Structure 1
Amino acid sequence: FSALDGKTQSCVVENLLGFTGYFKKAGTTVLLVTHSTAHLKFADKLIILGGGALAYQGTWDGLKQHPKYSSLEIDIEGSKSDTVVEQPQVNKTVQSQNLKMAEAVSDLSRATGDISLYGYYFRAVGFQHILLLLACTSTYSFFVTFPQYWLQKWTEAPVSQTTFYICGYLISSLLAWIATSGTMWSTQILIAPSSGIELHRRLLSTIIGAPLSYFSNTDTGVTLNRFSQDIQLVDKQLPPAIMSISNQVFKLLVQVVLLFSAQKLLALSLPLCAAVVYLVQRVYLRTSRQLRLLDLESQSAVYSSFLESVEGVTTIRAFGWEKQAEHANVVCLDKSQKPAYILLCLQQWLGIVLDLMVAAIATSLITLAVFVRGTTTAGQIGMALNIVLAANATLLSLVTSWTNMEISLGAISRLKALEADTPKEDQPHEDFVPTEAWPSSGSVEFDKVTVSYNSDAVALRDITLEVSPGQQLIVCGRTGSGKSTMLLTLLRLLDTDAGSIKIDGVDLRLVPRSLIRQKCFITVSQDSFILGHASLRFNLDPSTSLPNEAIISALARVGLLSHFHLRDTPSEEETRNTLDSPLSSLPQMSTGQSQLFALARALVQLKSINQTSELSANGAEGRHIMPILLLDEATSSLDTETESAIRDIIHQEFTDKGHTVIAITHRLGGVTKGMRPGRDAVVLLSKGKIEKIGEAEDVLDSAALRE
């Protein structure tokens, strides 16, 4: 219950675990693991662990009478710690914040296709690579089909010219082999890597540069589908499809010319064949494009279902929901297979139609050869029959390849639409670069700031607030009151609808966001972000600009040296090996140690900022940058001892050195212990507005708070 504010937490615990709660009435056995002492009185039996051993076993009343309870590091009086509650409001309705999820995939000109997609893809590939592919495929198509005509001439030539025709046949085959090798090389070595790299770069740049609202309104499965399914189509299916289409088109042209040269009367069937092929491809391509896009889109539901099951596997197993979760995933999987099955049926229909058309052409050819004698030779009839059979396979391969290309272009259309429609976080007017020493004091000014996630969800309304340099400001309030939104707005992860925020007199709306996050703020969140595959050094110092001593000093300051098997004065080799080791290969950290690790990262970032300011100071005239420390529920899930250790480090390394500290919390009891009377302040938020502001005692004694 650590993520809940005091009133909500008390309501939930009392209704479920209280003396008249639901579980008590139902006779349900409850095992509660917690670091909080606020609700120990509801327990029938207490087990307190300390140092990996059993420290106490008994009841709540027995614990209060225990002569050594102070050594148990349990703050019994903390059960009455101050928690923020909301003043009762009469005749006010609670407005729900319903954020609409974006559609999984938008409608991207499915019925008719989009010609601009070809230009988008060819620009990513490079037109010189496309021209090389066309040259290779046209050469291959000619020399792989020309031997049919060469054989026909060979059958009519005298025996004395056999060697000449053998050499010509071998040369034609050799040139075809060289051309097909060039085709494969241009497709697999030039086109596929260049297009995949360029389109992946654009996609990654678009997603990374998207604002926070994009991730709030877009399903995770949709984004994952762009990087997995769509990029896979671009890498593996689209280049071979283009190569195959180019081959089949040129082969079909050569075959048609040879066929009509053998039997000129067959040219009369050309308009009819063209009309049939046009009608077939129009029906087939339009339908297959729809089915394939439905197939791709239905897989987003499969990805989302799988991701949700993985993320909630603990809850699923705890409540015995394995069969329900499996059934839900199977249902999504079954739905995703429906378009694939119908597409397979459509392909069989296409094969039958093309076979019937080629059979009609072959019948016409034999009929003409029988009834219109003297117009063709035996060699020409044989060549024409071979070409008719080959043309059937060529035509079928052409339509299939064209369909695969249209399917893959569906991925291109989604990538193109994502790049065009996704809003960019950075704006053109954000180009003001403050002085190198900014921020030099750390003052913060909110001037009538209003922030919303969308038009129906206003998170902050008309916030006016001033934070003095070096001041410690505690922002508290119930869940959903706008506390975290205030920090997101400071970090420019959310844009203001009205008003302005200034740091040392500089309006943040004019400064590049990357510069704000790099120099202006140091953030420690409730959930410390850790990359397991990355090294310990990278997790602490992503810029890799600090020496080993600075990183070791930060780990020692938070007490994590021993956890990573490092001594107080480790050798250079030991330090290098440990810092360069993947974090996943080192001992796993607990929740409290993860927060200490996040704090160590903040200390390393502070040293990095100070080092940068010293390098750019040009002597004694420069001033140290004074970044502002932002804490978002950084101690809400920690035990009393770890919380006290983190609070002491923050005071010594930041507050006592003049840094402004803005802390978000819904638990005031521990945070207010280190506040300085007459200087630090507490802000109470309620429904996105400032309810009260003042010193800790004044806010705690107000009617809006209770013990």
Structure 2
Amino acid sequence: MSRQTTKKRQQVRMGGPMGGMGTGEKAKDFKGTVKKLIKYLSDFRWQMLMVLVFAIGSTIFAIASPKILGGATNQIVDDYANMKAYEAITSKLPKGVSLPAGTTGADILNRLPNKSEIEKQIPSSQLESIKKLDLSRRPEFHFDAIWRIIILLVGMYVLSVIFRYIQTWIMTQVTQTVTFRMRQQLSEKINRLPLSYFDKQTYGEVLSRITNDVDTISQTLNQSLSQIITSTVTVLGILVMMFSISWQMSLVALLVLPLAGGVITLIAKSSQKQFLRQQTQLGELNGHIEEMYGGHQVMRVFNGQKKSITKFSKINNRLQESAWKAQFFSGLIHPIINFISNIGYVAMTILGGWLAINGRLKIGDIQAFIQYVDQFNQPLVQVANIANILQSTAAAAERVFEFLDEPEEAVESNNLVKLSDIKGEVEFDNVVFGYKPDQTIIKGLSAHIKPGQRVAIVGPTGAGKTTLVNLLMRFYEINSGSIKIDGVDIRKMKRSDVRQMFGMVLQDTWLFNGTIRQNLMYGNPKATEEEMIKTAKEAHVDHFVRSLPGGYDMVLGEEAANISQGEKQLLTIARAMLEKAPMLILDEATSSVDTRTEVLIQKAMDKLMQGKTSFVIAHRLSTIRDADLILVVKDGNIIEQGNHETLLKQNGFYAELYNSQFAE
């Protein structure tokens, strides 16, 4: 893996306390992508509406609880104040005096000669309640009212939890269904895309859309979408409750926000730069380590240890410096924000105390207000983080939708020809093709291959040998001309039917993560065990497979480390032989085997190719001397054709190639 690839992999979401504040990757068309995503979710509109209702309900219950709890505090404080007021006033009366029912504190105060002096001694916040106090009976704590408040609070907490559970359950169902559907559509889309698409995109890019991008969308739907609803409702609800308690204290609380936001912005600018440098240098460091350990033997051969260690130290020192600065700057946020918040609390406490003394606020209200202020900061931070997450989600969704909107292979009609008895006659008639419209590679190529002929395609690198095979398999559509099999244009057949006619062995071995038996029977799952063993013996696979742990049941994954590249290629050859297709394509099929094994494989191939039209692409001309027809391709044209002896006698381009390989 290249250092650039590793670096890209390492540049993920920023870590540390400032991690959630990174801008992340942005979509090119944020609004358009969001509209597409909403339209994609339209099938789940009722579920989303239920999530909205339950999220609002759950949040409202959670928001209302502090004010109700403040009411319980006010009840206790009022009851206590009434008891103290009763004792203060009745102590002024002569002993043994009983008061008639309905006697209030105002009645007693009016009878006292020093009324004005006593009223001055009583706080103004309590004076009005004392005047209304019924002194005919001693006040008590209203435990029944407090218990009702407690039961109400417990009920609200329980309902809030139930609503949150239902909301989460519905959202999880929607998310997993959307994720499943999206991955399913992407998987089906891959099979409908022309091969030319993958010439422009790396497999890693395609894989990233199916895995990383879909996961990003899934996590946002499952977590962030619910948080958006709850955080927004929480912020609005708390603001309403705070202003309902005291608009003066609410203004003080809100004045702290821009101050805290300004500090966060200033620190974030410095911190994010350092986090970006940290991630870049971490990718560079990992790339260097991977590069050095990947080529450890070569590095030692050239005595590059000292140079490697010096480079590692330089990168490591830069990483240490940027990491220290990143953590230092981000670490300043919490103490500074706490300091600003504490100043705000002091101001609110002083103002609340002054309002309480003047009878404009109660202690329970101050308690509820402080609780609301504590709850207010968290949803604000969540909204800020979600705004950044939505940018990344929109970018991921944009890549997914771009992939789903890619032009597909032309839809095949229902009136297509299906060959029942394939003879294997192939004709290229004035074929013109280019991967790009303005760059023609195959220029008017014509050739006629008789049934059962063994055709070798030779030529220099880039001559169009593999392109010719790709056109034959309909991986690409030709610009003009025609390719016919048994007299039928392959464009009049289904692509799957055309490809089913060919068995293929490529230079790059492809074996999936499964048992050897599953890999061998991949092209012919109906083959019997006896047929598989017989084919394995003919391909000289059986003897080394039986020496492996598990034999044919050994899983070709991490356990395949003890299988050589040549043995893997033997397995792919055996797989093609077992498929029993009427025609064959062999692209450097024996390039990874030793000379002795190559001779054995050639014998097996000779038997395999008997009576089948076979196309062999080879650079080693010694492997195709027995071909019935050799097509010499150069610059997209067949410049020579014939058998080995005929082409040598012509003393042309083929003779030149052959002699360059075998000249003494």
Query: TM-score by structure 2 length?
Result: 0.70
* Partner secondary structure for residue 502 of structure 1: strand
Match of 1:684 in 2: 632
Match of 2:540 among 556, 559, 573: 559
Match of 2:184 in 1: 201
Question: CA 1:586 to 1:225, structure 2 compared with 1: closer, same or farther past 3 Å?
Answer: closer
Question: CA 1:385 to 1:120, structure 2 compared with 1: closer, same or farther past 3 Å?
Answer: same
Partner Cα distance (1:419, 1:453) in 2: 22
Verify: 1:632 aligned to 2:632, yes or no. Answer: no
Bigger CA drift: 208-217 or 161-170? 208-217
**1:308-363: CA deviations, max 9, x gaps?**
8898777667666788889699979989x989987996897799789969966984
Match of 1:387 in 2: 372
**1:354-392: CA deviations, max 9, x gaps?**
996996698479648747955443332332232123212
Report the structure, 1 or 2, having the larger helix content: 2
> Which letter maps to 1:691?
I
Verify: 1:168 aligned to 2:152, yes or no. Answer: yes
Question: CA 1:257 to 1:151, structure 2 compared with 1: closer, same or farther past 3 Å?
Answer: same
Partner Cα distance (1:245, 1:671) in 2: 67
Match of 1:664 among 617, 630, 633: 617
* Partner secondary structure for residue 437 of structure 1: coil
Partner Cα distance (2:351, 2:590) in 1: 90
**1:616-642: CA deviations, max 9, x gaps?**
xxxxxxxxxxx3211111233444433
> Which letter maps to 1:530?
L
* Partner secondary structure for residue 541 of structure 2: coil
Match of 1:604 in 2: 578
Question: CA 1:632 to 1:555, structure 2 compared with 1: closer, same or farther past 3 Å?
Answer: same
Match of 2:642 among 694, 697, 700: 694
Match of 2:604 among 632, 645, 649: 649
**1:376-432: CA deviations, max 9, x gaps?**
433323322321232123322332233334334432333233333x443x3224665
* Partner secondary structure for residue 684 of structure 1: strand
Match of 2:88 in 1: none
Question: CA 1:271 to 1:427, structure 2 compared with 1: closer, same or farther past 3 Å?
Answer: farther
Match of 1:508 among 486, 490, 497: 490
* Partner secondary structure for residue 585 of structure 2: strand
* Partner secondary structure for residue 544 of structure 1: coil
Partner Cα distance (1:432, 1:448) in 2: 26
* Partner secondary structure for residue 446 of structure 2: strand
**1:511-563: CA deviations, max 9, x gaps?**
4433322x2211111232223x3111211112532221221121122232222
> Which letter maps to 1:248?
S
> Which letter maps to 2:468?
M
Match of 2:130 in 1: none
Question: CA 1:591 to 1:245, structure 2 compared with 1: closer, same or farther past 3 Å?
Answer: closer
Question: CA 1:520 to 1:579, structure 2 compared with 1: closer, same or farther past 3 Å?
Answer: same
* Partner secondary structure for residue 447 of structure 1: strand
> Which letter maps to 1:495?
E
Match of 1:581 in 2: 554
**1:271-308: CA deviations, max 9, x gaps?**
99999999999999999999999999999999998998
Question: CA 1:666 to 1:156, structure 2 compared with 1: closer, same or farther past 3 Å?
Answer: closer
**1:245-269: CA deviations, max 9, x gaps?**
2221222222122112212567889
Partner Cα distance (1:329, 1:128) in 2: 58
Match of 1:116 in 2: 33
| Aligned residues of 2:235 and 2:380 also touching (Cα < 8 A) | yes
* Partner secondary structure for residue 504 of structure 2: strand
Deviation at 1:237, TM superposition (A): 5.6
Question: CA 1:331 to 1:504, structure 2 compared with 1: closer, same or farther past 3 Å?
Answer: farther
RMSD of aligned Cα (Å): 4.8
> Which letter maps to 1:147?
S
Match of 2:69 in 1: 151
* Partner secondary structure for residue 401 of structure 1: helix
Verify: 1:550 aligned to 2:531, yes or no. Answer: yes
Verify: 1:595 aligned to 2:577, yes or no. Answer: no
Match of 2:101 in 1: none
Match of 1:499 among 481, 506, 529: 481
Match of 1:18 in 2: none
> Which letter maps to 1:662?
F
Partner Cα distance (2:166, 2:411) in 1: 45
Match of 2:5 in 1: none
Question: CA 1:116 to 1:671, structure 2 compared with 1: closer, same or farther past 3 Å?
Answer: closer
Where in structure 2 are there 5+ consecutive unaligned residues?
A: 1-7, 12-23, 76-141, 660-664
> Which letter maps to 2:153?
Y
How many residues matched?
A: 564
* Partner secondary structure for residue 619 of structure 2: coil
**1:205-263: CA deviations, max 9, x gaps?**
44454444443333455445445543443454652222322221222222122112212
| Aligned residues of 1:221 and 1:303 also touching (Cα < 8 A) | no
Bigger CA drift: 350-359 or 258-267? 350-359
Partner Cα distance (1:694, 1:329) in 2: 62
* Partner secondary structure for residue 114 of structure 1: helix
Match of 2:466 in 1: 484
Deviation at 1:663, TM superposition (A): 1.0
| Aligned residues of 1:112 and 1:286 also touching (Cα < 8 A) | no
> Which letter maps to 1:630?
I
| Aligned residues of 2:453 and 2:614 also touching (Cα < 8 A) | yes
Deviation at 1:464, TM superposition (A): 1.4
Verify: 1:248 aligned to 2:231, yes or no. Answer: yes
Deviation at 1:664, TM superposition (A): 1.0
Match of 1:25 in 2: none
Bigger CA drift: 693-702 or 315-324? 315-324
Verify: 1:138 aligned to 2:52, yes or no. Answer: no
**1:11-40: CA deviations, max 9, x gaps?**
xxxxxxxxxxxxxxxxxxxxxxxxxxxxxx
> Which letter maps to 1:634?
A
| Aligned residues of 1:564 and 1:587 also touching (Cα < 8 A) | no
Match of 1:80 in 2: none
> Which letter maps to 2:222?
P
Query: TM-score by structure 1 length?
Result: 0.66
**1:637-669: CA deviations, max 9, x gaps?**
4444333332322332323xx211111112223
| Aligned residues of 1:564 and 1:578 also touching (Cα < 8 A) | yes
**1:569-596: CA deviations, max 9, x gaps?**
xxxxx9xx74333135579444444333
Larger Rg: 2
> Which letter maps to 1:164?
R
* Partner secondary structure for residue 552 of structure 1: helix
Partner Cα distance (1:271, 1:313) in 2: 60
Where in structure 1 are there 5+ consecutive unaligned residues?
A: 1-102, 568-573, 610-626
Partner Cα distance (2:279, 2:215) in 1: 12
Partner Cα distance (2:183, 2:174) in 1: 14
| Aligned residues of 1:293 and 1:410 also touching (Cα < 8 A) | no
| Aligned residues of 2:242 and 2:372 also touching (Cα < 8 A) | yes
| Aligned residues of 2:26 and 2:392 also touching (Cα < 8 A) | no
> Which letter maps to 2:614?
V
Question: CA 1:133 to 1:290, structure 2 compared with 1: closer, same or farther past 3 Å?
Answer: farther
> Which letter maps to 1:190?
Q
Question: CA 1:694 to 1:236, structure 2 compared with 1: closer, same or farther past 3 Å?
Answer: same
Partner Cα distance (1:312, 1:171) in 2: 66
* Partner secondary structure for residue 434 of structure 2: strand
> Which letter maps to 1:599?
I
Question: CA 1:334 to 1:221, structure 2 compared with 1: closer, same or farther past 3 Å?
Answer: farther
Partner Cα distance (1:199, 1:659) in 2: 43
* Partner secondary structure for residue 454 of structure 1: coil
1:13-92 counterparts in 2 under 5 A?
Answer: none
